[in-house]
Structure 1
Amino acid sequence: MSYYKRDKRAWLVLSDGTVFEGYNFGCEGTTIGEIVFNTGMTGYQEVLTDPSYFGQIVLQTYPLIGNYGINMDDMESERSWVNGYITKEWCEEPSNFRNTKTINEFMIEQDKIGIWDVDTRAITRIIREHGTMNAAITTEDIDTTKEALMEQIRDFKVVQPVQAVTRKNKGWYYSQDNRANHVALIDYGFKHNILRMLLRLGCNVTVMPANTTVDEIRMLNPDGIMLSNGPGDPAENVQIIENIKDFIAYGKPIFGICLGHQLMALAMGGETIKLKYGHRGMNQPVKDVARDRVFITSQNHGYAVVPESIKEDIGTITHFNLNDGTCEGIEYKNCCAYTVQFHPEASAGPNDTGYLFEKFTNLMERGQLGCL
C-alpha cells in the first residue's frame, strides 16, 4: 500500500453491485470486509481500536470524524482491527489538548484504507433495508477491476475472528498495591476499558487467551471470571463454549459482556441469531427490569441471544432493548453468573451502568455466599 494524497479518488463497492465514488484517506489499495455502521457522535478512536470490529468495514453515520484527533490514552487495544473506514468528512486540524495526531496519520500508521466524501446517509439506508453485507474500498480503477472485485467481495468471509484477536501468551498480569480480588479476564477480543474498570474497582487481573481451559483457571485460583467482548458469530466457537461449561461447574462468579454474554447463553443451552444490521453506537436504550430504569448504552454487536431459548429454570432476562426488544442481559439461577449484551465499561452514561462491575466485585468478596 502507498500513502495518502488529498485528491486521490476511491470507490466503495457493495456486494449488490452499488458503487459510491469518493476520496481516499489513510493508505491506498483495496480492502474487503463486512460493512456495518456506527451511530456514535464521538468515540471514533475506540471504534478503530475495538477488536470486535475485526474483519469489518465501519461507516460512521456522524458526518465529521477526527475533530479531536487521536491520543494514546483512549486506545481500546494495541492496534486498529477494522478492515476499512468510511466517513462523510474527516478533520485535518483537530483541536484537543490530548491530541497527538490526525485520524489520517493514524490510519496510515495502522496501514488502514479509508474513503470519505461519500453519501453516508444513502449507504446507511441500504444497510438498514437489505441488512449487513460484504463490501470493498479500493483506489484502483473501478472500470477495469470491478468484475474481479465483485467475485472477491462475494467470496469474503471472516474466519476464526476470536483466534485472530486474542492474546496468544498466557498470564498477562495487571496489579497495583493493596488489591483485593483476582479476576481471570478471558480475552475474546477485550476492550482495555474493561481492564481499567476492574483495576479501578480494586482487582488484580490476569488476562488469559480465548482457549483457556478450566485446569488453567484452577491454577490461577481467581476470585472471579470475566468473559470479554469479541468479534464474530458466537456459535462458531464450539470449544470455547465447552470450556465455559467447565468454568460454570468450577463455581466462581462469572460476568460476561457482549460476546461473553452470547457465549455464556450458548453454554447454558440457549440460542443466538444474527441481527439484520446489528447495534453499533452509543445511543441504545436498555431497560433494567429489576430497577425499572432505562439506560442509554454503548453497543457493538451483530448477534443476539434468543430470549425464548433461555428456559425459566436456567435464567432470567434482566435487561432488554427498547428499540427492538432484543435480550440485553441475563442472570442465571443455578450458578453464580450474569451477563449483559451492552458495554457498561464504555461510559455512555457516562457511569450509569457501572453498578454491573460493582456487583461483580461484591460477588467475589462474598464468595460462594453471594452466588444465588
Structure 2
Amino acid sequence: MSSATRTNPPDAAEDPSPGWRPRVATGVIVLADGVVIEGAGVGATGSAAGEVCFNTAMTGYEEILTDPSYAAQIVTFTFPHIGVVGVNDEDIEVVNAAGSAAVGAVMRADVSAPSNFRSKARLDGWLKARGIIGVTGVDTRALTTLIRKRGMPNAVIAHAPDGAFDLDALRAEAARWPGIDGMDLVPAVGSTQRYDWDETSWTLEAGYGRRQATRFHVVAIDYGTKRNILRLLNDCGCAVTVVPATASAEDILALKPDGVVLSNGPGDPAATGEYAVPTIKGLLAAKTPLFGICLGHQLLGLAVGARTLKMPQGHHGANHPVKDFTTGKVEIVSMNHGFAVDRATLPANAEETHVSLFDGSNCGIALADRPAFSVQYHPEASPGPRDSHYLFRRFVDLIAASKAAGAPRAA
C-alpha cells in the first residue's frame, strides 16, 4: 500500500455494503509508514497510538476490548458485524470495571442497534464512555492481509466528528511511537493493592455466584488478570488472593499459598521479567505449585532460562487449534499474545507440553523438577470455547499431589 491508499471505496454508492458512510471521513487509522485508512469514527474522540492486530473471534467483542492483555493495541475485528448484541455490565474482563485495555477498535460494518436480551447499551456509546476510539467502514480484510504480510504495524487511530485531521501530525505521532517491543505495560493494568476474590462463573439462571466451599488457598499474581481466571479458580474450590505484580516471593510465601497463578497481561515479557522473574524463581525454589497463563507462561519460561521472541502477527482469536502432548488431544483455544517462548532455548528440565497447530509455536511447558506448568493461550476463554477449562482442574490436582508428597511450605 502506498501512503495514498485508502481502504474505503472512492464513492460510497459504489459499495452497497452496510457500514459505509459519506465521503468525509470522521475516523482514520494512520500507520507508521504513512498509510492512511479512512472510515467513520465512533466511540471516543481524539487520537491514540498503539499496535494494530487482528482478532478472528466471531463473538465476545466486549470481553476482548476489556482484556488487559490488549493494552496499547488497536484491535481489528475480522468478523464484520461488531456490536450486534450490544454490551452489558457482566461481560467486562478487566477487574477494575472503569479501566480499559485496548485503545482502539477497527470494524467493517457500522454499529447497529443491539438485539440480545442481555444488552444494556449500544457498543458505540459504551466505547465513548470507556475512552476507546473506534473506526467503522474499514475494509478489514485488506488490513488483515497487510498485517499477515508485514507484521503488526504501529499506528494512530483518531476520531474527529468534523472530519478535520492533521494527517501530517498523526503520521509523525505514529512514526514516533516506540512500539510494544521492550515495553512493560503491566503497571498500567495490574492492581496495586492486595484483595480477595470469591466470585464464581456465570449461569443463565443465577448470574455470578459466590464460592461456597474452600479446598485450597491460591495466590494470583496480577500482571493484568482477567476476571474469568479468578472465577474458574473459585469454581475449583480455591480461595483466591490477588497480589500486585511487584509482590516479592517473600510477600507471597508469607500468605502461605497452596499454589500460585501467574496471570495473563500485556507488553514485552522480557521487560516485565526484570522484576517478575526474581519472584518466580523464589517461588520455584520453595517448590510452590505454579500455573502460568499467557504472559505468566512467558515469565515462567524466562525464569527457567528460556528466551522470548516477538511474533510477526501474534495469535489473536478464539479458534486456534493446540495439541496437548500429555493427552494426545487437540483443543480449540482462545489466544491473545504477540510474544512467544523460544522452544530452542528451553532448558532440559522444561518439557514442551502444548504446541500451536497453526504455526508450530510453543504453547505450553511443564517442569520436571518442580510442580509448575504453564500455557501460552487463555484456558479461561471468555470469549472462546471451554475446551481448556480442564487446566484449572489439572492445577488443583497438582496442588493436591504436592501436598500429599509433603512439599515444603514457608513457615
TM-score range, shorter chain: over 0.9
In the alignment, does 2:170 pair up with 1:166? no
Distance 1:148 1:165, change over 3 A: same
Letter in 2 for 1:172: D
Residue matched to 2:166: 145
Q: Quote the RMSD (CA, aligned, Å).
A: 1.9
Counterparts of 2:391 and 2:406 in 1: how far apart (Å)? 15
Letter in 2 for 1:72: D
Residue matched to 2:69: 52
Residue matched to 1:331: 366
Counterparts of 2:72 and 2:244 in 1: how far apart (Å)? 20
Residue matched to 1:243: 279
Counterparts of 1:80 and 1:70 in 2: how far apart (Å)? 14
CA contact (8 A) 2:223 2:244 kept: yes
| Structure 2 gap segments, 5+ residues each | 1-20, 199-209
Residue matched to 1:116: 136
Which of these residues, 265, 268, 284, is aligned with residue 320 of structure 2? Answer: 284
Cα distance, 1:45 vs structure 2 = 0.5
Counterparts of 2:255 and 2:185 in 1: how far apart (Å)? 26
In the alignment, does 2:216 pair up with 1:196? no
Counterparts of 1:49 and 1:261 in 2: how far apart (Å)? 21
Cα distance, 1:148 vs structure 2 = 2.1
Distance 1:228 1:15, change over 3 A: same
Cα distance, 1:334 vs structure 2 = 1.2
- Partner SS state of residue 291, structure 2: strand
Residue matched to 1:39: 56
1:58-207 alignment to 2 at 5 Å?
58-77=75-94, 78=97, 79-140=99-160, 145-157=166-178, 158=180, 159-174=183-198, 176-207=211-242
Counterparts of 2:127 and 2:384 in 1: how far apart (Å)? 28
Q: Which stretch shifts more, 144-153 or 63-72?
A: 144-153
Distance 1:149 1:95, change over 3 A: same
Distance 1:348 1:297, change over 3 A: farther
Residue matched to 1:297: 333
CA contact (8 A) 1:251 1:336 kept: yes
Counterparts of 2:320 and 2:265 in 1: how far apart (Å)? 19
Cα distance, 1:144 vs structure 2 = 6.3
Q: Give the length in aligned residue pairs.
A: 366
Letter in 2 for 1:22: G
Distance 1:173 1:45, change over 3 A: closer
Letter in 2 for 1:153: A
CA contact (8 A) 2:350 2:365 kept: yes
Counterparts of 1:144 and 1:364 in 2: how far apart (Å)? 56
Counterparts of 2:187 and 2:54 in 1: how far apart (Å)? 24
CA contact (8 A) 1:252 1:368 kept: no
Residue matched to 2:391: 356
Cα distance, 1:369 vs structure 2 = 4.1
Q: Which stretch shifts more, 348-357 or 320-329?
A: 348-357
Distance 1:132 1:349, change over 3 A: closer
CA contact (8 A) 1:214 1:250 kept: no
Counterparts of 1:352 and 1:83 in 2: how far apart (Å)? 29
1:204-219 alignment to 2 at 5 Å?
204-219=239-254
- Partner SS state of residue 320, structure 1: strand
CA contact (8 A) 1:336 1:371 kept: no
Counterparts of 2:124 and 2:72 in 1: how far apart (Å)? 20
Cα distance, 1:160 vs structure 2 = 2.8
Residue matched to 1:3: none
CA contact (8 A) 1:57 1:83 kept: yes
Which of these residues, 247, 262, 266, is aligned with residue 302 of structure 2? Answer: 266
Q: Which stretch shifts more, 228-237 or 73-82?
A: 73-82
Counterparts of 2:34 and 2:383 in 1: how far apart (Å)? 36
Counterparts of 1:209 and 1:98 in 2: how far apart (Å)? 33
- Partner SS state of residue 80, structure 1: coil
Cα distance, 1:206 vs structure 2 = 0.2
Q: Which stretch shifts more, 74-83 or 325-334?
A: 74-83
Cα distance, 1:173 vs structure 2 = 4.5
In the alignment, does 2:32 pair up with 1:15? yes
Cα distance, 1:365 vs structure 2 = 2.2
Distance 1:369 1:315, change over 3 A: farther
Letter in 2 for 1:262: Q
CA contact (8 A) 1:253 1:371 kept: no
Letter in 2 for 1:147: D
1:222-237 alignment to 2 at 5 Å?
222-237=257-272
Counterparts of 1:258 and 1:144 in 2: how far apart (Å)? 37
Letter in 2 for 1:130: R
Counterparts of 2:172 and 2:383 in 1: how far apart (Å)? 39
Deviations 1:239-285 (CA, angstroms, capped at 9, x unpaired): 11111111111211100000000000000000111000100001111
Counterparts of 1:33 and 1:347 in 2: how far apart (Å)? 23
More helix by share: 1
Q: Which stretch shifts more, 229-238 or 141-150?
A: 141-150
Q: Which stretch shifts more, 156-165 or 48-57?
A: 156-165
Counterparts of 2:85 and 2:383 in 1: how far apart (Å)? 18
Counterparts of 2:305 and 2:293 in 1: how far apart (Å)? 18
Cα distance, 1:93 vs structure 2 = 1.3
- Partner SS state of residue 16, structure 1: coil
CA contact (8 A) 2:63 2:382 kept: no
CA contact (8 A) 1:225 1:254 kept: yes
Cα distance, 1:147 vs structure 2 = 1.9
